[in-house]
Amino acid sequence: MRTLHVGLTGGIGAGKSAVAARLADHGAVVLDADLAARAVVEPGTDALAAVVEAFGEGVLAGDGSLDRAALAELVFSDTARREELNRIIHPRVRAWMAERAAAAPEGSIVVQDIPLLVEGGLVPLFDFVIVVDARDEVRIDRLVRLRGMSREQAESRIAAQAPRERRNAAADRVIENDGTQAELVEAVGALWRELTGRRDGS
Ligand code: ATP
């Protein structure tokens, strides 16, 4: 049986992590790009050394780990510096994910959860792309209620990402997540049947 390589994305607060968790319940091998982005800069990695070389010792916390807030401060409003950081981090994240995807048992459904999958031009790497979508109002409400953001923060984070029309256009399947958790569980059940069908060639 061949392995099916699935990309999972969606705007902030739409419910990617929730969909990833339900797919894992069904047996998917889930790889999280946010987790990878942390793993590749752990103390002792060449990526952390490269970040310090480029941005200075000020991005290190007292215990030698990366001070994410200090680094975010330096790159937040500076596109050139952000791109410089991305040039260090992104190839290593891709390698981290690719290595683990390749190690999955044959016949697995490997789901890579990547927030900027569409923006990063990664759609062609996958057999199947899932986009999780929810209305902006629903996303703002979740980010404010469950993530402690202010309404302004939530709106500006949403505005900084690709518009949902562009993201949805790249999808093989859009999961609408405007409803309840129970509705999402049901939608992911149907999605899992679709994915296993694709893997099995039906
Ligand atoms: P991010 O881009 O920030 O990683 P995300 O797309 O992964 O966001 P989630 O973390 O899955 O989004 O969902 C955002 C919040 O909304 C979480 O607290 C999650 O538990 C909640 N949530 C997701 N789907 C639903 C739903 N159908 N009903 C109620 N709450 C939900």
pLDDT at 162: 86
Mutating to test ligand 1, I would choose from 8, 9, 16, 135 the residue with most ligand atoms within 8 A of its C-beta, which is 16
Phi-psi bin for 94: left (phi > 0), alpha (psi -120 to 50), beta? alpha
Let me know: does 16 contact 143? Beta carbons within 8 Å: no
pLDDT at 76: 79
Residue owning the nearest CA to atom 30 of ligand 1: 181
User: Does residue 12 line the site of ligand 1, with CB under 6 A?
Assistant: yes
Mean pLDDT, the chain cut into blocks of 10 residues (202 residues total): 96 96 98 96 96 96 94 89 94 95 97 93 96 96 95 92 92 97 98 97 80
What distance in angstroms lies between residue 142's CA and the mean position of ligand 1's atoms? 7
DSSP the chain: -PPEEEEEEE-TTSSHHHHHHHHHHHT-EEEEHHHHHHHTTSTT-HHHHHHHHHH-GGGB-TTSSB-HHHHHHHHTT-HHHHHHHHHHHHHHHHHHHHHHHHHSPTT-EEEEE-TTTTTTT-GGG-SEEEEEE--HHHHHHHHHHHH---HHHHHHHHHTSPPHHHHHHT-SEEEE-SS-HHHHHHHHHHHHHHHHHHHTT-
What distance in angstroms lies between residue 139's CA and the mean position of ligand 1's atoms? 8
Flag whether the pTM goes above 0.85.
Answer: yes
> Which residue is it, tokens 């060449």?
46
pLDDT at 178: 96
User: Does residue 167 line the site of ligand 1, with CB under 6 A?
Assistant: no
Q: Please identify, by atom number, the ligand 1 atom nearest to the C-alpha of residue 115.
A: 2
Residue owning the nearest CA to atom 22 of ligand 1: 15
